Each structure stands twice: as C-alpha cells, then as structure tokens.
C-alpha cells in the first residue's frame, strides 16, 4: 500500500521500479523499500514533500563533507548530540565522527 499523498504518476513509478528490482532478483520487501525511497526522493527533489529542507540524512554512501548542514543536523539529532543547532558544518562533522568513534579521512 502506498502513501495517500502519492500521485498517480508516483504510483506508476513505484510499480515500475519495484517490478524491475524483482526481475533483477531483489526480494519483495527489499524491492518495496527501494521503490518507495526512489519515489520519495523524486517527490522531495520536486518540492512535493513537507519540510523538504529538513528531512533525511543524505545518501549513506557519500562522505559527511558532501552532505548539507541540514542533513548533518539530522544525523546529529539521531546521535543525540547536544548543541547541534549552533554548530557550523565542520563542527557538526567533527562531533558526528567523535560520537561514532571515527577519525577524519586522510587526504
């Protein structure tokens, strides 16, 4: 079942993506998850979701440096970091890495 806010176009895209993923060997549940994420990302990029600016934590395959300050703040909130609203981007990255026990990547 798809969310009520989705348009007919969103429904078609969801079905097409899910079908394609299942044909490529993904499980039903994984295909549903990826299809929903695909549609929601498209809706977000088009500005059709509420709070567009403050949703999400970004692609987990991208570095923290590539993410927006809002995405970093959402990650910090998930990690229960205090003082995040007043932090600059570099401070957020340092605090997230410290909480996760990671070090800055070598350059």
* Residue 94, Cβ density class (10 Å: 0-12 exposed, 13-18 middle, ≥19 buried): middle
Whether 32 is covered by a domain: the verdict is yes
Mean pLDDT for all residues in the chain: 87
pLDDT (0 to 100) of residue 107 = 53
Q: How confident is the model at residue 21 (pLDDT cuts 50, 70, 90)?
A: very high
- Tokens 């990650």 correspond to what residue? 75
The pLDDT score that the predictor gives to residue 99 is 92
pTM of the model: 0.49
Residues 46 and 71 in one domain: no
Could you tell me if 30 and 62 lie in one domain? Answer: no
- CA 73, CA 89: separation in Å to the nearest integer? 9
The pLDDT assigned to 1 comes to 64
Q: Are 17 and 49 part of one and the same domain? A: yes
Would the pLDDT of 79 be above 70? yes
Q: How far apart are CA 43 and CA 37, in angstroms?
A: 10
Residue 60's domain comprises 56-100
105 domain residue, yes or no = no
Residue 88: the pLDDT is 95
Q: What is the pLDDT of residues 37-55, one digit of tens each?
A: 999 888 878 878 766 566 6
Total domains, the chain: 2
User: Tell me, what's the pLDDT at 17?
Assistant: 96
């Amino acid at each position: 079942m798809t969310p009520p806010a989705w348009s007919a176009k969103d429904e078609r895209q969801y079905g097409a993506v899910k079908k394609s993923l299942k044909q490529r060997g993904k499980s039903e549940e994984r295909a549903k998850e990826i299809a929903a994420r695909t549609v929601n990302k498209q809706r977000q990029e088009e500005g059709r979701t509420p709070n567009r600016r403050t949703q999400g934590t970004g692609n987990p395959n991208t570095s923290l440096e590539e993410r927006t300050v809002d995405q970093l703040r959402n990650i910090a909130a998930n990690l229960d970091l205090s003082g995040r609203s007043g932090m600059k981007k570099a401070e957020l990255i340092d605090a997230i890495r410290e909480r996760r026990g990671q070090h800055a990547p070598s350059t």
